């Protein structure tokens, strides 16, 4: 089997390559079909997915069985000030990959986000995680361009998986976990919003489930996050506790944070996801978010990699 991974230098692309090389992870072995798979990791230097003709030609030349699109413009605030770039990468890129994959009959696994939702309370008490039946209504340029990317994938590629995840962190690259750890080294206290809630997600868990989907025929839209819901303040508090640092974490509201950071994009207050489609198809082995972050600290080398 041949798998092409776009955005190969990011935290998810790197984790996918690690699991394919090791033929598994802490959650278990990879499906038999993926062992000894041929992996084609590409980044913008190899393939500019915003160039339709180049993308179609590249996919036709290399003939992958599955393309996993990890490439994205994920700077939420940056998307507000550079909407053209966000549109090109988050919407046109997936469209071009969808067109290219459909031409050769390849599967396309496209990574999307909880930010396609508006953040309004959901369920009887306003605290029910949203499943794949819920209607997207993004409130930021990032969410809007990611939703358009989803729609293009649905329209142009028959064999597609759209996988929404949230609050992703991993061994490689920049993420919230590493930001908090670095801030704690230089500050006695930090302030984090406590009125935005979602699901922290370990890239190990996400990559493992993406690779299970890669050999299935259960096409469609999926949510894939670690289980359990918390606020950014809760998440930051657990990160600092596990780091062993003496830094104190204090809560604030989104309005208070925005007053100090006026260029901040709107973010959903409630974006907790329910992995219903995953559970009803290939199975939901996503760990509880606290278990996953504890295992991350036990195996993280403190820099840009894994101890083992």
pTM: 0.96
Q: Kindly state whether residue 301 falls inside one of the protein's structural domains.
A: no
Report the C-alpha gap between 42 and 179 in whole angstroms. Answer: 26
Number of helical (H) and strand (E) elements in the chain, helices listed first: 12, 14
Q: Kindly state whether residue 234 falls inside one of the protein's structural domains.
A: no
Residue 136: phi, psi to the nearest 5?
A: -65, 150
Q: Kindly state whether residue 250 falls inside one of the protein's structural domains.
A: no
Mode of pairing for the β-strands spanning 28-29 and 38-42: unpaired
Residue 227 is given by DSSP the state: B
**N-terminal to C-terminal alpha carbon distance within the chain:** 26
Number of domains in the chain: 1
Report the C-alpha gap between 181 and 184 in whole angstroms. Answer: 5
Question: What's the CATH code of the domain at 25?
Answer: 3.40.50.720
User: Helical H runs in the chain?
Assistant: 11-22, 52-62, 76-81, 83-87, 93-104, 141-156, 176-186, 203-213, 232-243, 254-260, 276-279, 289-299
Q: Are 70 and 172 in contact (CB under 8 A)?
A: no
127-153 pLDDT per residue, tens: 999 999 999 999 999 999 999 999 999
Q: Kindly state whether residue 185 falls inside one of the protein's structural domains.
A: no
Q: Kindly state whether residue 46 falls inside one of the protein's structural domains.
A: yes
Q: Kindly state whether residue 18 falls inside one of the protein's structural domains.
A: yes
Query: Mean pLDDT over all residues of the chain?
Result: 96
pLDDT in 10s for each residue of the chain, 308 residues = 999 999 999 999 999 999 999 999 999 999 999 999 999 999 999 999 999 999 999 999 999 999 999 999 999 999 999 999 999 999 999 999 999 999 999 999 999 999 999 999 998 888 999 999 999 999 999 999 999 999 999 999 999 999 999 999 999 999 999 999 999 999 999 999 999 999 999 999 999 999 999 999 999 999 999 999 999 999 999 999 999 998 999 999 999 998 888 777 899 999 999 999 999 999 999 999 999 999 999 999 988 888 86
- Could you list the residue range(s) of the whole structural domain that residue 136 is in? 2-175+199-228+272-287
26-53 pLDDT per residue, tens: 999 999 999 999 999 999 999 999 999 9
Residue 266 is given by DSSP the state: P
Q: Kindly state whether residue 253 falls inside one of the protein's structural domains.
A: no
Q: Which of 122, 142, 152, 219 is catalytic?
A: 142
Q: Kindly state whether residue 126 falls inside one of the protein's structural domains.
A: yes
Residue 129 is given by DSSP the state: P
Q: Which residue in 5, 12, 4, 7 sits closest to 225, CA to CA?
A: 12
Tell me whether residue 115 is one of the annotated catalytic residues: no
Q: How many CA atoms lie within 13 A of 249 on its CB side?
A: 23
Within a 10 A sphere around the Cβ of 63, how many other Cβ atoms? 12
Residue 253 is given by DSSP the state: -
């Amino acid at each position: 089997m041949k798998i092409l991974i776009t955005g190969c230098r990011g935290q998810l692309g790197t984790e996918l390559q690690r699991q394919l090389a090791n033929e598994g992870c802490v959650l278990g072995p990879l499906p038999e079909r993926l062992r000894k798979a041929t992996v084609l990791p590409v980044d913008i230097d190899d393939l500019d997915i915003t160039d339709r003709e180049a993308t179609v030609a590249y996919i036709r030349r290399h003939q992958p069985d599955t393309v996993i699109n990890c490439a994205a413009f994920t700077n939420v605030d940056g998307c507000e000030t550079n909407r053209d770039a966000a549109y090109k990468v988050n919407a046109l890129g997936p469209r071009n990959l969808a067109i290219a994959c459909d031409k050769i009959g390849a599967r396309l696994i496209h990574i999307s986000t909880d930010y396609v939702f508006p953040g309004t309370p959901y369920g009887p008490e306003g605290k029910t995680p949203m499943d794949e039946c819920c209607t997207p209504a993004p409130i930021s340029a990032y969410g809007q361009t990611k939703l358009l990317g989803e729609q293009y994938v649905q329209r142009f590629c028959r064999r597609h998986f759209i996988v929404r995840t949230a609050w992703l962190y991993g061994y490689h690259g920049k993420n919230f976990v590493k930001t908090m750890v670095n801030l704690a080294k230089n500050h006695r206290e930090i302030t984090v919003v406590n009125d935005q809630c979602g699901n922290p997600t370990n890239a190990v868990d996400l990559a493992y489930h993406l690779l299970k989907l890669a050999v299935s025929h259960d096409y469609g839209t999926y949510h894939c996050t670690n289980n359990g819901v918390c606020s950014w303040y809760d998440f930051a508090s657990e990160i600092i506790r596990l780091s062993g640092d003496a830094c104190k974490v204090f809560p604030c509201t989104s309005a208070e944070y925005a007053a100090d950071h006026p260029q901040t994009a709107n973010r959903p207050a409630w974006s907790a996801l329910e992995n219903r489609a995953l559970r009803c198809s290939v199975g939901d082995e996503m760990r509880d978010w606290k278990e996953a972050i504890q295992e991350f600290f036990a195996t993280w080398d403190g820099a840009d990699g894994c101890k083992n």
